Structure 1
Amino acid sequence: MTTSEPLGDGRSWPDPERVGRYRARVFAERDRLRAAFTDPGAQQRRVLADLLAFNADTAYGRAHDFGRVRTLDDWRKAVPVQDYSALAPWIERAAAGEDNVLTADRPALFFTSSGTTGSHKKIPVTPRFMHTTFFPFYYAAWAPLITHFPDVLARPDAVLNLKHDPLTTPPTTASGKPHIGASQADFGTRFGEPLSAEPGTHAPWATLPTPLAPDAHLDKTYLRLRMAVESDIRCIIGINPAMVAALPHQLNLWWERIVREVRDGTLGGHPFRSPNPERAHELDRLAAHFGRVRPAHIWPHMRALFCWTTGLASLYLPRLREEFGPGVTLLPAPVAASEGPTGVALDRHPTAGSLVVTASLYEFADADQDLTPDTPTLRPDELEPGRDYHTVFSHVGGLYRYAVGDVVRVVDHEDGVPRLEYTGRSTLSNVAGERLRDAHVLRALTTALTAGGLELRNAACRVVTPDHHGTPAYQFALAPAIPWSDAETDVFLTRLDHALARESPGYHQARTRLRLGAPTALRLHPDAFLDDWHATVATGVRPTQVKDRLFRQDPAHWQRLTDGKGS
């Protein structure tokens, strides 16, 4: 996020005391959250009481009798479990400029969703939401990074923040409010929080000197990378791991151009700074010695990667980490969406974050059941380790009993609250009653890969029906880290079939009753998914929105991913 503080020369903090003030704020929010764990039930009751009192006189509050609600059971009776489509009419009224619809304070802006298909959601973002729900978890999320790797704050150009994407002229709603991604918002100016600027957002490349079209995302990525090769990067912040995975690919894709521009002192073909033949010679030497250049060669002092570490990324992050250096640490980004937070890691756990009990009122439902307006829900203290759950939250920002569409898995309980990891979206693939979720397939893939000692750089699947009739079956697009033989692929598919049957009773039944055929595979080039990522970004989609997706039924997208890539 950007800040209202001046950036000075872009290579040193404008205020020598800023790092100290930032660290103090981060640790204070972490400590407040940990203190709240001593009585999480009381914190949840406080959150409910606060959102009811603050928003009771809104149109939504009056329609749902907020004034009569006292307990969680009252809340369940007053408000149905609902998704974005159910709240959309209320949100659109607020986006059009009507006051007092969902919240007592006016939305300052609207976050866009991170989806890549369909119209983007408009998530109302109010000052009360930011100060009550967002900022406390947001600051705390950086505590593990700056505790264990304090040198990442020594210089603003020590961090390459891939998701930072400020806009000079953001798109707006009908009422003129910005409709942007969280990574594009200036929290310092809009909410009076100058310390909220993330690590890396004071870097020289934070504001590009070369003006570009708003949707020229690949050009922006190139320019930042070209500038960054002249800095001593210690940390990569990506949040979306697909962005981190793309970086080594981009280095080699653009390598000759980068070295030439470093030598000439140009940026995007324009004069930029003094020529740097010494650094260009060093980069040439690295390429001659190693052949394929890795981030670890360019930035030998790399310490940490900060991104989501679960989902499909769990398949490729262990090997990807080696690209950045043998001692590099993976730190998990928060379990959160544009609509609000769920979990935040307060230590170096590789996948899970503690429930943010101060941010929202949380309810959960078994992930294998369909969510309906009257689905029975569980309190956080009723969750069981090793189980998957739908996430439903309510907060003062106007999202009430909101099913965010994420499924989380309870890893354990720590300090009195569950620790959760993101397992995927709640969307079902269900052509023959198999009811497969992301988590089912990911766990099955992991089981089958481990049994054969195989590795993937990424995977996707779709349902196919031969000649548009007969028995449907799942076809997997697989990008092996190293080539697989036909025999290895056949054994892998058998193991995958069995693992899917163990993960999903519906899949087992569909296979037993011959309603679903055996899975098949297309082995792709190792870079197939990276090429597809670049092709999507080239169409104008922001990199933060181009995420790993397991189920891909769109024929055109599947064709682009797999065309000519078979091995």
Structure 2
Amino acid sequence: MNILEWVINQFYAIGSDFFYKKFVKDTIKAGDINRGVLQEILQGNSKTVYGLLYEFEGIRTSVDYKRIVPLTSYPDYENYIEEIAAGLENVLTSDEVNYFGLSSGTTGKQKRIPTTAKTRKIINMSMMFLQHGSLSSALPAARTGGKGLLLMNMLQSGNTPVGIPSGSGTSGGMQSMKKMLHYFWTSPLEVLAIKDQQVANYLHLLFALKERNLAYITSPFPSSIVQLFGVLEKQWVEIIEDITKGTISSRLTLDVEVREQLEKQLKPEPIRAKDLERELSKGMKAIAQRVWPKISNISCVAGGSFGIYMDRLRYYIGDLPVFSAVYGATEALIGMATNVNDVSYVVTPRSAYFEFIPLKKSDNMNPKTFDLDELNVGEMYEVVITNYSGFYRYRMGDVVKVVDYSHQSPVIEFMYRKGQLLNLAAEKTSEQAVRYALGETTKASGVILEDYTVTLKIEDVVGHYLFYIEINELVISATKALEMKSTLEQCLGDANPRYRAGVNAKRINEVDIHFVQTGTFQILKQELLKRGASLNQVKIPRMIQDPSLIMLLEKNIIT
């Protein structure tokens, strides 16, 4: 670490302490602070089209706000967003919309989430400072700083007709921070702009393995880290050769200019290569600690549907602490982790105004909502946000469970997203999208879908979805089975472009189908009833990970 990097790390540590202490102080009066955020948002946007419609200027309390302004979902904003994308100002927010974060759709149409400089600042300060302050408090070994390996990208999808860029929420954040990236992370900017994830992972490893004192690995999701180590497991001999010679393998498909820029940053390191070869030749178990002796933690979201990756991840990282960092979405930051090896989050009172709908009432026409200091420990709620970017009383669809309180701020665990089914690589394919894809597939094939479920197959570096499908035909020819598989892949991409993007970037392998015998799902229901499911409410789970249930399905495969 040179002098400049040392100074930056010291400044980083001081800033992180400041933000974390402020966050803890905020939790003491979380309810009042959060309602203050609401007033700030309403007064700041009172002259917008939306603010004038609901007379924001006259709203003085959260009770009035809930009475006057309706609960909303994304379709309520589509016309407004079209106007913003066309260049109109002061529509949903008085601040300029300078980015659209792209979310997933269900029939090929992605959501565009407005982002302003203020919302970007909230996210960036939390990701850069608050996250590190919270981690340092929970794990003093992380306080020393140093460079880490960051598994994200800066890819953007395009621009609106008036030039507003769009892309994933994390890509937008990375773009705004790119001048600082090389002080904190090992991968050059060029690597963060590579579309092919397997090529990018090879290069992430090449530069990270050169860093003897790597401090941590961070990624939004554990699946990305598992894939990274999968590349190491399969290609370490080639990577070692590149480190020895200071080159980049000719087998990697790279633009000439990008290759030249990256190779300028490499030099032969035969001694480091020998050290790495000695450890890698012993196998991949707990390899992270053996190639990076000073690594202190892994940062990624470990809860919710991502829990399925943790056993595989543990194989590579051994007993390294895992920090689940932040719980957030394109729309807003929601919570901050305060402990390692824990999947709960303390709600951040200043990032948005939060309301919570009791899950048992969430299907009501106009359910009552509660502020963050009014929740019951042990109960589940649907999250509703009002953010600084123009979404008001917005139903995110996230379901959380309150497990504790930190002063006045609830400690929550993410349970699931309503309607969401597939999320192997953060593509967020909803159950509606899956039903659409299956419906189009069976219609094109002239068969009737009797029932289905899905499981994840992640034995390889890149996982894929395996559908178990029961149709009205007892025999399926190999040709027809291949045709249906191809159609299903196409229709899933049509239903959710982020799924197709994941396949194109090699973060997800193409879908597979197993056809099962007639009556298989009735047998599955009987098994669920034996386990205690109610006869009136037993449902086929649309996502299955239980090994015994998968074995039942496998025993009934016809092709």
| Aligned twin of 2:164 | 177
The TM-score, its normalising length taken from structure 1, stands at 0.70
Q: Take 2:14 and 2:544, find their aligned partners in 1: how far apart are those partners?
A: 54
Distance apart, 1:240 and its partner CA:
1.3
Q: Take 2:217 and 2:95, find their aligned partners in 1: how far apart are those partners?
A: 36
Distance apart, 1:143 and its partner CA:
1.5
Structure 1's 255 and 369: CA in aligned 2 closer, same or farther, altered over 3 A? farther
Distance apart, 1:335 and its partner CA:
1.3
| Aligned twin of 1:224 | 204
| Aligned twin of 2:35 | 45
Distance apart, 1:147 and its partner CA:
4.0
Amino acid at match of 2:536: Q
Determine whether 1:166 maps to 2:151. no
Pairing of 1:376-387 with structure 2 (within 5 A): 376-387=368-379
Does the Cα contact within 8 Å between 2:13 and 2:143 map onto a contact in 1? no
Does the Cα contact within 8 Å between 1:30 and 1:346 map onto a contact in 2? no
Which of 399, 408, 415 does residue 407 from structure 1 map onto?
399
Does the Cα contact within 8 Å between 1:343 and 1:354 map onto a contact in 2? yes
Amino acid at match of 1:77: R
| Aligned twin of 1:546 | none
Amino acid at match of 1:141: Q
- Which SS does the other structure have where 1:404 is aligned? strand
Deviates more, 1:393-402 or 1:124-133: 124-133
Percent of aligned positions that are identical: 23
Q: Take 2:143 and 2:316, find their aligned partners in 1: how far apart are those partners?
A: 23
Equivalenced residue count is 457
Cα displacement string for residues 352-387 of structure 1 (whole angstroms, at most 9, x for unaligned residues): 111111222111113355456622222223322222
Which of 72, 86, 91 does residue 62 from structure 2 map onto?
72
Does the Cα contact within 8 Å between 2:285 and 2:315 map onto a contact in 1? no
Does the Cα contact within 8 Å between 1:335 and 1:342 map onto a contact in 2? yes
- Which SS does the other structure have where 1:27 is aligned? helix
Structure 1's 462 and 187: CA in aligned 2 closer, same or farther, altered over 3 A? closer
Deviates more, 1:367-376 or 1:175-184: 367-376
Which of 98, 103, 115 does residue 88 from structure 2 map onto?
98
Q: Take 2:336 and 2:4, find their aligned partners in 1: how far apart are those partners?
A: 29
| Aligned twin of 2:215 | 234
Distance apart, 1:41 and its partner CA:
2.3
Pairing of 1:525-544 with structure 2 (within 5 A): none
Which of 473, 497, 513 does residue 528 from structure 2 map onto?
497
Q: Take 1:189 and 1:79, find their aligned partners in 2: how far apart are those partners?
A: 33
| Aligned twin of 2:318 | 325
Cα displacement string for residues 515-544 of structure 1 (whole angstroms, at most 9, x for unaligned residues): 8699988979x9xxxxxxxxxxxxxxxxxx
| Aligned twin of 1:392 | 384
Cα displacement string for residues 197-253 of structure 1 (whole angstroms, at most 9, x for unaligned residues): 57x764342323x8x975233222211212212212231101212112222211112
Structure 1's 342 and 520: CA in aligned 2 closer, same or farther, altered over 3 A? closer
RMSD: 4.1
Structure 1's 132 and 257: CA in aligned 2 closer, same or farther, altered over 3 A? closer
Amino acid at match of 2:201: T
Q: Take 1:15 and 1:263, find their aligned partners in 2: how far apart are those partners?
A: 26
Distance apart, 1:398 and its partner CA:
0.8
Cα displacement string for residues 426-472 of structure 1 (whole angstroms, at most 9, x for unaligned residues): 1178xxxxxxx99xxxxxxxxxxxxxxxxx98997867444379xxx
Cα displacement string for residues 407-440 of structure 1 (whole angstroms, at most 9, x for unaligned residues): 11111112122101111211178xxxxxxx99xx
Deviates more, 1:76-85 or 1:134-143: 134-143
Structure 1's 133 and 496: CA in aligned 2 closer, same or farther, altered over 3 A? farther
Distance apart, 1:180 and its partner CA:
2.5
Does the Cα contact within 8 Å between 1:80 and 1:373 map onto a contact in 2? no
The TM-score, its normalising length taken from structure 2, stands at 0.71
Does the Cα contact within 8 Å between 1:137 and 1:359 map onto a contact in 2? no
Determine whether 1:203 maps to 2:190. no
Does the Cα contact within 8 Å between 1:245 and 1:320 map onto a contact in 2? yes
Distance apart, 1:292 and its partner CA:
7.0
Q: Take 1:56 and 1:518, find their aligned partners in 2: how far apart are those partners?
A: 44
Q: Take 1:61 and 1:337, find their aligned partners in 2: how far apart are those partners?
A: 24
| Aligned twin of 1:7 | none
Structure 1's 230 and 221: CA in aligned 2 closer, same or farther, altered over 3 A? same
Pairing of 1:19-168 with structure 2 (within 5 A): 19-113=9-103, 118-131=108-121, 135-136=125-126, 139-147=129-137, 156-157=146-147, 159-163=148-152, 165-167=153-155
- Which SS does the other structure have where 1:380 is aligned? coil
Determine whether 1:263 maps to 2:244. yes
Distance apart, 1:56 and its partner CA:
0.4
Amino acid at match of 2:209: V
| Aligned twin of 1:509 | 536
Pairing of 1:413-492 with structure 2 (within 5 A): 413-427=405-419, 464-467=469-472
Amino acid at match of 2:195: D
Q: Unaligned stretches of 5+ in structure 1?
A: 1-10, 430-436, 439-455, 470-492, 527-561
